[in-house]
Amino acid sequence: MALTVFETAACAEQLAKSLQLLTETEQLNLESVGVSVYSPGPICDAEPLFRAVDQPVHFQNGEIVPTAFDDSKIRGMSVNRRLHISVDDALQLATSRVAMVNQRKAQEVPASGSQPTAHKRRVVAYTIFKTSDIRALVHGHEPDSGRRAFGVYDTATEGDNSHGDVFFLLPGKQAWRSVRSRLYDLAKNGLVILENRA
C-alpha cells in the first residue's frame, strides 16, 4: 500500500527516493490524506506555505539561490502551513532548528579534526508559497500531457503540527533543472528579507 511509504522509510532521503518510484496516481493520492498522526488534515490547494531561508545555505550575496530547493529532491523541503502557525512562530522554529544544526556541526569539528566553518547558518529571510502554485508546476512539453513535478504532503510532527514537505516526484536531472528554476521564481515572488539579519 502506498501510504506505507511514509510509515516505512527509514530516513527522509529514503522517503524521497521511494516517492519517486510510485506511480503518479499513488503520489498524488497521498496528498489527499494526513500521513501523520499529528496531522490537522491534508494540505489544501489554497493554503499558504512558509519556507525559512538560511544564510549561507539558501541565501548568498543578498539573494536566494536556486540550490535552496534541493531539499525537495533529496529529503523533502520543509514548509509550515500558515493556517496552523504564525510567521513569528514559524521563524522561531526555524531559528531553533538552525541553532541545533550549528551546535551539531560545532561538536563534529573536534571529533573530525577539521577546521570549523567560518559561517554559521542563520535565518535571514522567508518566502510564502501558495500550495496550488507548487502543485501547478509540471514537466513536459504540453500542459495537458505534462506530469506534476512536486507533491505537497502533510508531515506534521508532535512538536509542529503545521509541518509539511514538498517533494520532487520525477526521476532525472533534466526534469529537475527545468522545474527547480520555476520553483525558484515562485520563491522570489514571495520572498521577505528580515531586517538586521541579511
- Calculate Rg over the CA atoms of the chain: 17
Q: Is the peptide bond before 42 cis (omega within 30 degrees of 0)?
A: no
* Mean pLDDT, all residues of the chain: 87
- Give pLDDT, residue 117: 55
What would the pLDDT profile of 93-113 be if each residue is shown by its tens digit? 998 888 888 888 787 766 555
pLDDT band for 197, please (50, 70, 90 cuts).
Answer: low
pLDDT value of position 35: 76
Mean pLDDT along residues 67-79 = 93
Cell of 84: 496552523
- What residues contact residue 55 under an 8 Å CB cut-off, 6+ apart? 119, 121, 122, 123, 124, 197, 198
pLDDT at residue 180 in the model:
92
- With vertex at residue 104, the alpha carbon angle to CA 103 and CA 107, rounded to the nearest 5 degrees, is 90
Cα 131 from chain centroid?
A: 12
| The three cell numbers locating residue 2 | 502506498
> Global pTM?
0.88
CA distance 78 to 75: 9
Residue found under cell 504564525: 86
Q: What is the pLDDT averaged over residues 53-58?
A: 85
Does residue 1 surpass a pLDDT of 50?
Answer: no
> Could you tell me the residue ranges of all domains in the chain?
4-193
Summarised one tens digit per residue, pLDDT across range 117-174 is 556 888 899 999 999 999 999 997 665 668 899 999 999 999 999 999 999 999 888 8
